[in-house]
Amino acid sequence: TSSVNLDWIKTTCAYCGVGCGIEAKAEEVSPGGEIIVKVRGDEDHPANFGRLCSKGLALGETAISDGRLLKPSINNVDCTWDQALDHVADKFKNIIAEHGPDAVAFYVSGQLLTEDYYIANKLMKGFIGSANIDTNSRLCMSSSVAGHKRAFGSDTVPNVYTDFELSDLVILVGSNLAWCHPVLFQRLKEAKAQRPEMKVVMVDPRATDTCAIADLHLKLQPGTDVALFNGLLVELAEKNCLDSTYIDSFTEGFESALTSARNEFSSQQARSEALGIPLNDLQQFYDWVCATEKTLTVYSQGVNQSSAGVDKVNAIINTHFATGRIGKPGCGPFSITGQPNAMGGREVGGLANTLAAHLEFNDETAYKIVSEFWQTDRLAQKPGLRAVELFDAIDEGKVKAVWVMATNPVVSLPNANKVISALQKCELVVVSDCIEHTDTAEYAHVKLPAQGWSEKSGTVTNSERRISRQRNILPPKGEAKPDWWIMSEVGKRLGFESAFSYNNEAEIFQEHAQLTAFKNNGSRDLNLAGLSSLNLEKYNQLSPVQWPCDSQEKIAEQNTDSAPIRLFSEGGFFTPSGRGQFIAVEQKAPKTKTSKEYPLVLNTGRIRDQWHTMTRTGLASRLGAHKPEPFLSIHPQSAESINAKKGDIIEITSRCGSALARVNITTDVSPTQVFMPIHWTNMTSSAGRVGVVVTPEYDDISGQPEAKFTPVNIKKH
């Protein structure tokens, strides 16, 4: 224990996209004995100012050796790091030589740190020469990314968390904030308690704990959000609530967006019927928005996980463009991400359709910038396969090697049994993870032990574009290594020695920051020039900082004033014309339809105290007390129709497959809908893996799967 630092260390939570600051401390239970980790909220961190939720508070209990992957192995036989890395590099080399670079792939994760993500992207796109690197963030917020790019010309979130406190009307769309972003919920709840005149509107087919602070709950029909916000655009125009100066000065396409919205329904009465919302409630909502300058629309997976997710995002943004309510205190369209580093992954190019540093494949100049910066002539020339397409290609034998990092696609991807069949056919499956037994690791040929929270070191970016350090508290368990080190070692063995010779994560961050400013004179949204010369010492001392941060002076200003950076209040978009783009959108039905055989709609989501597939939160026993087993929420009428009583096990079946769960009879869901959480796996339940049931349909523009709308039937088991 002599090497363990026993001081309080500032770090960041490993879970959701709020990105709370944590102070953590290693503590000896007895002198020279077992080490535990204590945590408390960091009062200086602008995301949480000392608050934490149940998951964050239990992080220390998960920093244990139980269940950890401690040694590399090939075909379940322990080996040395050299043997494992040589094996992976040789197999990749042979497959690429025989079938080309698109025959290999990485499937990575919003749990990775930015430095890990950067190396994954650089290795796959820059040197292996394929863009077949996608991430579980595809399942989380890729529709928001695509919507931002259409409207703003860049994947830029214009808002900051203080807007939750400054707003007079907060509209939560497809977000169970109380469970999924609990600290933002706490901030909103406290703000509303101080200013009871503040209104909160919930837009969600399901009643959730978030309803506790809602003044109005619009229980819309699943998938009808575009009609709701198109109706708002029409209302804003008819009630003369438009900001013509903003529209004329900074945007394009208003008339066609309004025409499209107007043509959708003959009247607001017809619209309310299609939405399944009483006309009075709909009118109340529209009246509040018309009357409230400081309107903030916060949206999450209920919007994104849809085959019309991108259109939904743009329908929301259209209403903010129309009122000029963007980039000003307390107003704007605000996408909040699910994962701790979904934003950092987006920044380095972790999605298969982005090049790097928010640069795009279809831009010749961008292509030259990245090739020159990385000094490579092997840069991938076209976007790669997105998550669902990627596993389909593995199943079809087109992709022959896949390296899965820090994620569990056998549980989390839709049509999850097809993922198993794909992995079983794959010539080489490499899994790097901090946990030994996961549903995906069961199919791995090579397992590589990665460092987990409390051991690894790097940066993450939260939903308000704030970069924070995650710092190591404990020495690594067993032979675990940083993900960036593992990939760099394989990169060197593939023959790219000079491109992957890093001594520490600070060098990688510095390189990433330099790329954001390379040859562009600060003209892009993502500009980290002010961070591009951080040496290891300064990197280790880095305080949370928001981008854009194009100079050290601006960073110093942030540190003295804590002045949040909002964007687009006076245009400044990154589109070719420099104007924000209204997008004409129309309501589209989900891709799969209910039928006599599958009459109900399955909605999926998170619960309060678990994270993803429970590999980490499952280690803290107190977190299991909240909801100890997989459950299926059904309406009393549905229960009656199958004669289900409290305590029964229900089988839920879609066109893809079946799962089992304990019934939860509740009016929180409507008679035509059911809800099941995403967390349980074959490791933690007998058959509660809901991914088996979820449809693999996705949004054609974003590739994001439609996890909120799967036609199903139910019966007693």
- Candidate ranges 9-17, 345-353, 429-437, 500-508; the one touching ligand SF4 (CB under 6 A): 9-17
Kindly give the interhelix angle for 254-264 and 225-238, rounded to the nearest 10 degrees.
Answer: 110
Spatial separation of the C-alpha atoms in residues 91 and 346, rounded to whole Å: 29
The nearer residue to ligand SF4, 52 or 308, going by C-beta atoms, is 52
The nearer residue to ligand SF4, 11 or 142, going by C-beta atoms, is 11
The nearer residue to ligand SF4, 182 or 349, going by C-beta atoms, is 182
Rounded to the nearest 10°, the torsion over CA 89, 95, 98, 100 is -100
The nearer residue to ligand SF4, 462 or 664, going by C-beta atoms, is 462
Q: In sequence order, what are the residues at sequence separation of 6 or more whose Cβ sits closer than 8 angstroms to the Cβ of residue 498?
A: none
Helix (H) or strand (E) holding 349: none
Pair type for strands 35-41 and 21-28: antiparallel
Site string (124-153) toward ligand SF4, x via CB under 6 A: ------------------------------
Is residue 689 within 8 A of residue 670, CB to CB? The reply is no
CB of 12 to ligand SF4, least distance (A): 8
The nearer residue to ligand SF4, 181 or 358, going by C-beta atoms, is 181
Nearest residue to 298 (alpha-carbon basis) of 147, 175, 178, 440: 175
- Candidate ranges 10-18, 130-138, 395-403, 648-656; the one touching ligand SF4 (CB under 6 A): 10-18
Is residue 133 within 8 A of residue 108, CB to CB? The reply is yes
CB of 341 to ligand SF4, least distance (A): 11
Give the 3-state secondary structure percentages of the chain, helix then strand then coil, rounded to 5: 35, 20, 45
Nearest residue to 132 (alpha-carbon basis) of 155, 110, 100, 154: 100
Kindly give the interhelix angle for 483-493 and 114-121, rounded to the nearest 10 degrees.
Answer: 20
Q: Binding to ligand SF4 (CB under 6 A): which residues in 43-62?
A: 48, 52-53, 55-56
The nearer residue to ligand SF4, 251 or 470, going by C-beta atoms, is 470
State the residue number with the nearest CB to ligand SF4: 56
CB of 310 to ligand SF4, least distance (A): 26
3-class DSSP state for residue 417? helix
3-class DSSP state for residue 536? helix
Residue 164 is a binding residue for ligand SF4 (CB under 6 A): no
- Candidate ranges 18-26, 201-209, 373-381, 586-594; the one touching ligand SF4 (CB under 6 A): 18-26
In whole angstroms, how large is the CA radius of gyration of the chain? 24
- Interface with ligand SF4 (CB under 6 A), residue from 10, 11, 16, 159: 16
Residue 493 is a binding residue for ligand SF4 (CB under 6 A): no
The nearer residue to ligand SF4, 177 or 714, going by C-beta atoms, is 177
Is residue 700 within 8 A of residue 389, CB to CB? The reply is no
Spatial separation of the C-alpha atoms in residues 353 and 137, rounded to whole Å: 13
The nearer residue to ligand SF4, 118 or 179, going by C-beta atoms, is 179
3-class DSSP state for residue 430? strand
Q: Which two tokens stand for residue 350?
A: 């972790």
- Interface with ligand SF4 (CB under 6 A), residue from 10, 20, 121, 187: 20
- Candidate ranges 14-22, 70-78, 297-305, 619-627; the one touching ligand SF4 (CB under 6 A): 14-22
CB of 56 to ligand SF4, least distance (A): 2
CB of 472 to ligand SF4, least distance (A): 18
The nearer residue to ligand SF4, 340 or 530, going by C-beta atoms, is 340
The nearer residue to ligand SF4, 56 or 548, going by C-beta atoms, is 56
Residue 127 per-residue DSSP state: I
- Candidate ranges 11-19, 107-115, 283-291, 369-377; the one touching ligand SF4 (CB under 6 A): 11-19
3-class DSSP state for residue 152? helix
The nearer residue to ligand SF4, 339 or 710, going by C-beta atoms, is 339
Rounded alpha-carbon distances, angstroms, from residue 137 to 171, 210, 425, 434:
24, 24, 25, 19
Nearest residue to 432 (alpha-carbon basis) of 501, 486, 493, 492: 486
The nearer residue to ligand SF4, 472 or 587, going by C-beta atoms, is 472
CB of 183 to ligand SF4, least distance (A): 4
* Residue length of the chain: 717
Residue with tokens 């409390």: 454
CB of 53 to ligand SF4, least distance (A): 3
Number of residues that bind ligand SF4 (CB under 6 A): 14
CB of 613 to ligand SF4, least distance (A): 15
What is the Cα 231 distance to its own chain's centre? 28
Q: Which two tokens stand for residue 537?
A: 């010492």
Nearest residue to 111 (alpha-carbon basis) of 22, 21, 17: 17
CB of 184 to ligand SF4, least distance (A): 7
Residue 13 is a binding residue for ligand SF4 (CB under 6 A): yes
The nearer residue to ligand SF4, 48 or 633, going by C-beta atoms, is 48
Is residue 529 within 8 A of residue 550, CB to CB? The reply is yes
Strand locations in 45-148 (E): 73-74, 77-78, 104-108, 133-135
Q: Which amino acid would we find at residue 336?
A: I
- Interface with ligand SF4 (CB under 6 A), residue from 10, 15, 550, 657: 15
Residue 627 per-residue DSSP state: S
Q: Binding to ligand SF4 (CB under 6 A): which residues in 165-184?
A: 181-183
- Interface with ligand SF4 (CB under 6 A), residue from 18, 232, 423, 623: 18
CB of 614 to ligand SF4, least distance (A): 14
The nearer residue to ligand SF4, 150 or 612, going by C-beta atoms, is 612
What is the Cα 255 distance to its own chain's centre? 33
First-residue to last-residue Cα distance in the chain: 52
CB of 458 to ligand SF4, least distance (A): 16
- Interface with ligand SF4 (CB under 6 A), residue from 19, 126, 174, 688: 19
CB of 627 to ligand SF4, least distance (A): 16
475, exposed or middle or buried, with CB in 10 Å at 0-12, 13-18, 19+? Answer: middle
The nearer residue to ligand SF4, 188 or 656, going by C-beta atoms, is 188
CB of 474 to ligand SF4, least distance (A): 19
3-class DSSP state for residue 327? coil
Q: Which amino acid would we find at residue 20?
A: C
Query: Which spans of this chain sit near ligand SF4 (rule: CB under 6 A)?
Result: 13, 15-16, 18-20, 48, 52-53, 55-56, 181-183
